[in-house]
Amino acid sequence: MAPAEAPVSGAAPKLLDQVRARIRVKHYSIRTEDQYVFWIKRFILFHGKRHPRDMGAVEVEAFLSDLAVTGGVAAATQNQALAALLFLYREVLQITLPWLDGVTRAKPSRRLPVVLTPTEVRAVLDRMDGMYGLMARLLYGTGMRLMEGVRLRVKDVDFGRNEILIRHGKGAKDRVTMLPAALAAPLQEHLARRRVVYEDDLRDGRAEVWLPDALAKKYPNAATEWGWQFVFCSGSHSTDPRSGRVRRHHVDEKLLQRAMKKAVTAAQLPKPATPHTLRHSFATHLLEGGHDIRTVQELLGHSDVSTTMIYTHVLNKGGRGVTSPLDRL
């Protein structure tokens, strides 16, 4: 058998490799990278493996319309696919597409969030213990998103000021939320156990964690410092898919999701509650307690108060907070 030909030196990188490289230059998350590559692949396959440079707005419109009409995807899913294709053309191929007027838009949903009552929250949390119980209580007690809690670093928990600094939240924004007094002692006990794991890793030369936005280059020693460690770490080391370095990453969010699902089932709740439901419940219960909606907006990290307003529709008085005439009889 003839030996395989060696790759041509200086050959242009493949399209998807160019996409990944550009995404990393823009400091997008690995989740965004995976999703963008997924949608670009689907787009290419949909059009018979034609190169995107040979296609344009017409083909993009046909693909997005098919997602809505044949695939029946949600509006958010269609918008994600559109964002991926716009990134491909603008950032990688350096082609500006005209406005896509011919796209059949997926119908946006107008669903209200699932919210648990305080009694239901207590029933779920009473059935969760250990690290996942602590994480669930932290989500409900602070209003953090699931991944904000999972990615929490040691240095961002301030016991002296009873607050938590949430970095790189949605939209790459930082914000401050409260540290519930009820969680101060349990969190300190958890960090004491976490410190033991860190010191073992440090002794073995494996205490490095992933740092965002090229901070590892700016602060070479930060990746192995205690303050940068994840509060909720994985039980084992794993290989970074981008750099190939072996690190102890944060805990897999799916494990918390499964633990919460078991607790909801054990509590016999009919509602499809998830860890994100705890954030919805946090906001609703603050409004029920008389807190100002602007304060709740800041705690949640919403850019526009209209996003926070959705919780006024699920308060404990029913539709729009109006008392039914039947209750007046």
Residues 184-230 pLDDT 10s: 999 999 999 999 999 999 999 999 999 886 677 788 889 999 999 99
Q: Are residues 162 and 37 in the same domain?
A: no
Q: Are residues 175 and 209 in the same domain?
A: yes
Looking at residue 117, its amino acid is T
Q: Are residues 175 and 301 in the same domain?
A: yes
For residue 211, tell me if it sits in a domain. yes
Catalytic residue at 167?
A: no
* Catalytic site residue from 153, 170, 249, 313: 170
Q: Could you tell me which residue, 13 or 151, shows the higher pLDDT?
A: 151
Q: Are residues 182 and 33 in the same domain?
A: no
* Catalytic site residue from 145, 194, 248, 250: 145
Catalytic residue at 261?
A: no
Q: What is d(CA 259, CA 124) in angstroms, rounded to the nearest whole number?
A: 10
Domain with residue 20: its CATH number is: 1.10.150.130
Q: What is the pLDDT of residue 8?
A: 43
pTM: 0.79
For residue 179, tell me if it sits in a domain. yes
For residue 188, tell me if it sits in a domain. yes
Q: Are residues 77 and 125 in the same domain?
A: no
With b meaning 16 or more CB within 10 Å and e meaning fewer, what string describes 35-45? Answer: bbbebbebbbe
* Catalytic site residue from 20, 247, 279, 285: 279
Catalytic residue at 168?
A: no
Number of folded domains that form the chain: 2
DSSP labels, 224-244: GSGGGSBSSB-SS-EE-TTT-
User: In the chain, which residue ranges form alpha helices assigned H by DSSP?
Assistant: 15-25, 30-46, 57-69, 75-87, 118-125, 130-142, 146-150, 181-203, 215-218, 253-266, 275-288, 293-300, 305-308
Q: Are residues 198 and 59 in the same domain?
A: no
Domain with residue 305: its CATH number is: 1.10.443.10
Q: What is the pLDDT of residue 6?
A: 42
* Catalytic site residue from 20, 137, 280, 302: 302
* Digit-coded pLDDT (tens) for 70-120: 888 888 899 999 999 999 999 999 988 887 777 777 776 667 889 999 999
* Digit-coded pLDDT (tens) for 19-45: 999 998 888 888 899 999 999 999 999
Catalytic residue at 89?
A: no
For residue 273, tell me if it sits in a domain. yes
Residue 22: how many other CB atoms lie within 10 Å: 17
Among 92, 107, 129, identify where a domain stops. 92
Among 92, 109, 144, identify where a domain stops. 92
Q: What is the pLDDT of residue 316?
A: 54
Residue 254: how many other CB atoms lie within 10 Å: 8
For residue 98, tell me if it sits in a domain. no
Catalytic residue at 328?
A: no
Q: Are residues 186 and 283 in the same domain?
A: yes
How large is the C-alpha radius of gyration of the chain? 24
Q: How many residues does the chain have?
A: 329
For residue 102, tell me if it sits in a domain. no
For residue 26, tell me if it sits in a domain. yes
* Digit-coded pLDDT (tens) for 115-143: 999 999 999 999 999 999 999 999 999 99
For residue 103, tell me if it sits in a domain. no
* Digit-coded pLDDT (tens) for 47-69: 999 999 999 889 999 999 999 88
Among 45, 75, 92, identify where a domain stops. 92
* Catalytic site residue from 127, 155, 237, 276: 276
Distance between first and last Cα of the chain: 92
Domain hosting residue 126, numbered range: 118-314
Catalytic residue at 195?
A: no
Nearest Cα residue to 20 out of 86, 82, 96, 88 = 88
Residue 145 has pLDDT above 60, yes or no: yes
Q: Are residues 75 and 149 in the same domain?
A: no
